[in-house]
Amino acid sequence: MTKVAIFIGSISDKDIMQPCSDVLSDLGIEHLYTVTSAHRTPDRTEKLIRDLEADGCQVFICAAGMAAHLAGAVAARTTKPVLGVPVNASPLGGMDALLATVQMPPGFPVGTLAIDKAGARNAAWLAAQILALNDKALEGKIKAAREGFAAGVEKAARELEGKN
């Protein structure tokens, strides 16, 4: 069962969103990673949402730049959580995508993350936390990962301070 879908608006967004797919894979979360566009392939987008929901998909992650309508188009067609990752694809540095993603009309929210790879990683972590509400094993994996992050900081501090 595909639990999470990652939609990118353009193949040029692949490298930016790869960390999202990597985090989900590391956590053992089955997901689909594909290209679909709110503007160029609206029928494909709608069919993907319908088919994925029928397969049990619980969270949609959408990344797009410029007008960044993908997350909003998905939110208009599902009641599942939609997470948006704005992509820096214009001279505006991703601010256009950020504003387009975060400014949704009432009743059609998109949980908006940071621009580019930082947002990609946190979209995966947030999707995992949503799924972990009903999955204690996944919650344990998230807690273990956080303990690993903390251990990494402690190790770096010891090395920097010369206390190997």
Same structural domain, 141 and 101: no
Residue 39 has pLDDT above 90, yes or no: yes
User: Do 69 and 126 have their domain in common?
Assistant: yes
Q: Give the pLDDT confidence score for residue 1 in this predicted structure.
A: 83
What is the spatial distance between Cα 77 and Cα 93, in angstroms, rounded to a whole number? 28
Q: pLDDT (tens digit, 9 = 90+) per residue, 90-146?
A: 999 999 999 999 999 999 999 999 999 999 999 999 999 999 999 999 999 999 999
What are φ and ψ of residue 162, in 5° steps? 75, 30
What is each CA distance from 54 to 2, 29, 48, in whole angstroms?
A: 10, 17, 10
The torsion angle over the Cα atoms of residues 132, 136, 142 and 147, rounded to 10 degrees, is 150
110 and 155 belong to one structural domain: no
Q: How far apart are CA 116 and CA 137, in angstroms?
A: 29
Q: Mean pLDDT, to the nearest integer, of 22-31?
A: 98
Percent of the chain topping pLDDT 70: 100
Considering the domain architecture, whether residues 121 and 148 belong to the same structural domain is answered as no
Q: Please give the pLDDT value at position 151.
A: 97
- DSSP reduced 3-state for 36: coil
Question: What does the pLDDT average to over 85-89?
Answer: 97
What is the span of the domain harbouring residue 117? 4-133
Torsion of CA 154, 150, 14, 77, to 10 degrees: -160
- The total domain count for the chain is 2
Q: Are residues 125 and 153 in the same domain?
A: no
At 152, the amino acid letter reads G
Give me the CATH number covering residue 35: 3.40.50.1970
Answer yes or no: is pLDDT of 53 > 90. Answer: yes
Do 125 and 145 lie in one domain? The reply is no
In this structure, are 157 and 98 located in the same domain?
A: no
Supply 35's token pair.
């290209």
| % of the chain beyond a pLDDT of 90 | 98
